[in-house]
Chains A and B, each alone.
Chain A
């Protein structure tokens, strides 16, 4: 029976997909070691700390974006949500310097969730394609940010020291910021794998019609996915302020495409149903390492975007090759029954 034969062959395909994450790690390690060979300070405590500080916020945004991408949707508005909550964080601390940090974090997440709910509502109930809906809210949220901030700027000097300590202090070379993000990645990765709700994101992106027939409430799931993504972006805004100290109305502009690129490099399929938050985070780490390596090697900064683009194309090409390979297997399996 050919099903058994096909089982063996696509076992190979599944193995390939797993190798993807291992391969990313290998590229990452090779890059880090090669750069360190030329500039030993690259892997020194300060070097590692720099990379981790740089990647933390992006990697966190990748978690939310991965959830949305798994559903075969996209959220472009995350950078504007981040911009709003980043400024709100600064404004809160200026108004109430004694405010506890967890409360500020909660406010950021809840605010982001509310904005995410708007995205989700537009997509799930309004039937607006997410690309258009979130492109719209990308500009609307940013516009609201400008209207509110009006050219003002928050500086590190007006923020409490223990809040800025999230980014500057830590365990060894690992800042608290990175620890929080790693914890959230592990938590959400585990939830996506081990909870029915998590599996529904994969199911939805894998075959929406089948999801409907299986009794999954598709609209509710879409809404919740966008709310998660918004909440994470809102929370990331709080961390952004802790990391940079300086926030104005342009905070985070352009980050959304960088995040989507990191997700795709990390093996999240833009066509839905495939990927992991860990992979996306590794993708973000790889891109951040490359940009730091380029600085460390004194390569002109404009190469960074070219390389990021090339990585993206390589990742998508790899996905296409694997997809064609699988399709060929399915075809050959079909006729001989």
Chain B
């Protein structure tokens, strides 16, 4: 099916954000009647490519060919009018409008005086749903629909304007087996009608079962592409991972101290359940798994930001009350959150203000804050963490990502924690700063700090952790010693497959 003109193709497309290259000279062709799997690790550039094809962003260089003709989509409407439909990981719907309106927005059938023909739109969408075998009332509001239901609305939308190209960004991530099967039945029917499909998934067996061709991206570049019959799953995993584990990581110590954190039967309805583990002094334990497996939620549950519904957490033998982060802090816990810009820092405030935010009470002299003490403690941590800055009074927003993360760390380390919960410690940080942070965390562990780390970067998990707990769909499904684990074995557990599987999904 590869002969003839592709319906949609990219030619040498590149895109950078700031200094970071997201996509480098990628050429990809989508043919009618062919399902094309796009595979790659976190940050490999899959989402960037999708957004270029959808007209959300424009490439820095290179172009798109539509039926062999050069084209740049300046906005999503142009891509849509050209017959390109995209189903995003997170459905993009209007919760306050009806399903029928969501499907037909901008293209509703009209009656006299240019009015919307609500009855006919409802009937049109009902007919689409009937064809899909879906029991949804087109007149109801989208608010309250399950993710699966919302995805069906997105698919109906794509069908309604007879899309010639359907791009699906991890459509099955939130679906059950039955819903997935129904989705693929629809996909196969579309293929028979000559639609070209680009399918992004982390479930390799889906790609092998449903797609005829695959393309692997790594670090923004295309590493391989060809008919899927020419590959084996383990080959594809190697292509995706494609690197040797760097020896940047600090050496492991091996010995561990007394139990610091004891978690038993921790659960929160619909998020995670039956979480049991121990964390020892001087030990680094990593929670690995796909995005959405419930790792960050477990950290938040332990620290008490979210209410937990069952189970107990003990720190050094004393129970941490649920839903009380202040109590957790008093008992020696600190949580460095995932999204430092949103949750960890006040970007417009100075380094001093940010670094002392968690210890203001201790630094107080009577009812007043003590600028001298604040400066002293910030300066101390700045030198210990090798923070690069001009003045401590500069706004945190002026620092690089790595240095911002150090400020977040110093903010929590200033509370003298004995247990550090850290979520994605090096996301979006350049390689040099990453290694520095890794050595820093390892150094803290050597000083008897117990570290529980969530990370989506497998090399980091393997390089840092003494033990790895793998989570899948809200449960711990496996435990491995850091030395025995490999990227493939962690991924296999995280995705519930033996052998070969793709890595975590891109953050949306």
Contacts and interface: CB of A to CB of B under 8 A. Distances in A.
B115 A195 contact: yes
Interface in A1-57: 1-4, 6-7, 9-11, 13-14
A215 B101 CA distance: 14
A215 B76 contact: yes
A13 B114 CA distance: 31
A195 B111 CA distance: 10
A212 interface: yes
A203 B92 CA distance: 11
B144 A6 contact: yes
B137 A202 contact: no
Interface in A299-337: 326, 329-335, 337
B92 A196 contact: no
B116 interface: yes
A225 interface: no
A333 B146 contact: yes
Interface in B245-288: 269-270
Interface in A244-261: none
A3 B96 contact: no
B76 A7 contact: no
B56 A13 contact: no
A331 B77 CA distance: 32
Interface in B106-146: 106, 108, 114-116, 118, 134-137, 140-141, 143-146
A64 interface: no
Given A4-B135, A205-B96, A209-B92, A214 B144 contact: no
Interface string B187-211: 0000000000000000000000000
B137 A7 contact: yes
A3 B148 contact: yes
B447 to A, nearest CB: 40
Contacts of A273: 94-97
Contact of A9 (B141, B144, B178): B144
B37 to A, nearest CB: 23
B224 interface: no
A103 interface: no
B147 to A, nearest CB: 6
A297 interface: no
A337 B116 CA distance: 33
Contacts of B94: 202-203, 206-207, 210-211, 273
Contacts of B174: 334
B143 A199 contact: no
Contacts of B92: 207, 209-210, 213-214
Nearest to A209: B92
Contacts of A272: 96
Contacts, number: 124
Contacts of B135: 1, 3-4, 7
B176 A337 contact: yes
Nearest to B76: A213
A281 interface: no
A84 interface: no
Given A214-B105, A214-B106, A337-B176, A329 B144 contact: yes
A210 B270 contact: no
B179 interface: yes
A215 B104 CA distance: 12
A194 interface: yes
Contact of A7 (B81, B105, B106, B140): B140
A272 B97 CA distance: 12
Nearest to A5: B146
Interface in A136-153: none
Contacts of A203: 94, 97, 101, 105
Nearest to B176: A337
Given A207-B92, A214-B106, A199 B116 contact: yes
A214 B115 CA distance: 20
Contact of A334 (B56, B81, B146): B146
A35 B92 CA distance: 49
Contacts of B144: 6, 9-10, 13, 326, 329-330, 333
A315 to B, nearest CB: 17
A67 to B, nearest CB: 15
A195 B115 CA distance: 5
Contacts of A195: 114-116
A335 B474 CA distance: 10
Contacts of B54: 213
B152 interface: yes
A39 to B, nearest CB: 41
B141 A14 contact: yes
Contacts of A335: 269-270
A216 interface: yes
Contacts of A331: 269-270
A274 interface: yes
Contacts of B270: 331-332, 334-335
Nearest to B91: A210
Interface string B492-503: 000000000000
B76 A326 contact: no
Contacts of A213: 54, 56, 76, 92
Nearest to A11: B140
Contacts of A194: 115-116, 118
8 contacts: A2-B148, A6-B146, A10-B141, A195-B114, A196-B108, A210-B93, A216-B106, A331-B269
Interface of B: 54, 56, 75-77, 80-81, 92-97, 101, 105-106, 108, 114-116, 118, 134-137, 140-141, 143-149, 152, 174-176, 178-179, 269-270
The 5 lowest CB-CB distance pairs between A and B, nearest first, are A215-B77, A337-B176, A10-B144, A273-B96, A3-B149
Given A6-B149, A214-B77, A329-B144, 15 more contacts: A1-B135, A4-B135, A6-B146, A9-B144, A195-B116, A203-B97, A203-B101, A205-B96, A210-B92, A215-B80, A273-B94, A273-B96, A330-B143, A335-B269, A337-B175
